Amino acid sequence: MIFERVLRLIYPAVPLCVACGKAFTSDYPLAFCRDCLDRIPFVTKPVCSHCDRPRRGGETEPCRECQSEPRAYEQAMAVAVYAGYLRELLHTAKYSFRPDLARGLGTILAVWAENETRLEEVEVVVPVPLHPQKLATRGYNQAELMAEPLAAVLRRPLSTDVLQRVKPTVSQSKLSRRERQENTAGAFLVSNCPTVAGKKVLLVDDIRTTGYTLSAAARALLIAGACGVKVLTLAVGVNFE
């Protein structure tokens, strides 16, 4: 037993990809092998200057949605498109009891954030919470697990007890835009205002589609005294104009 421990110190175990289980090496603290990373549809320019949603034709000005329906957050950022392999990974992380996969997806956020200048003013990282009923059913909050490696890289505090979801919202996936807005209205409150008062907050979640959930959460943080809220999600839904 002692020999095995010494051996591991001299020859560290080769990491296994959290998605496919294959052994791999990487220059970055990523939980995914190169083959799996190559299957993820990362966001590429051109994108909306306000929400990072991919656009066609080289347009970078605020998209029609950002112009017509402002959100409570000042900037939304996204790493990849909610499609294909990434959609499968996120679904598995949420519904197949894979907290390891959720945390692994957070390493992608962390590596992406290392040189992201839009995050320089962030003072505190807040994951979007689950309602207690859903948390008890799922066993963990995937947004919180994804935010852990991100906060570590940013060297910012991760506050998991500030924002609370007080309204048991239903799944947004099959709702219309108006129904989504009504579903998330009044869903959040802040229980520890001093933690965010006067600070720039980074709100973290796994997926952004219409942005109504994140906007409702951002509004609660602003009411509690936050001086600004930015949003970062691993995935963003695409709706080309």
**Which two structure tokens, joined as six digits, stand for 185?**
């209205």
Q: CA of 208: how far to CAs of 17, 57, 191, 205, 235, in Å?
A: 25, 22, 24, 8, 6
In the chain, beta strands by DSSP E:
75-81, 124-127, 163-165, 188-190, 200-208, 228-236
Confidence (pLDDT) at 108 = 97
Confidence (pLDDT) at 15 = 86
Listed in sequence order, the residues at least 6 apart from 224 whose beta carbon sits closer than 8 Å to its beta carbon are 162, 190, 193, 196, 197
Confidence (pLDDT) at 11 = 46
Confidence (pLDDT) at 64 = 86
Give, for all 241 residues of the chain, the pLDDT tens digit: 444 454 344 445 668 999 999 999 887 789 999 999 999 999 998 999 999 999 887 777 888 888 888 899 999 999 999 999 999 999 999 999 999 999 999 999 999 999 899 999 999 999 999 999 999 999 999 999 999 999 999 999 999 999 999 877 666 666 666 766 666 777 899 998 999 999 999 999 999 998 999 999 999 999 999 999 999 999 999 875 5
Q: Does domain 71-236 have CATH number 3.40.50.2020?
A: yes
Confidence (pLDDT) at 175 = 64
Question: How crowded is residue 122: how many other Cβ atoms within 10 Å of its Cβ?
Answer: 21
Handedness of CA 231, 121, 192, 105 (dihedral sign): positive
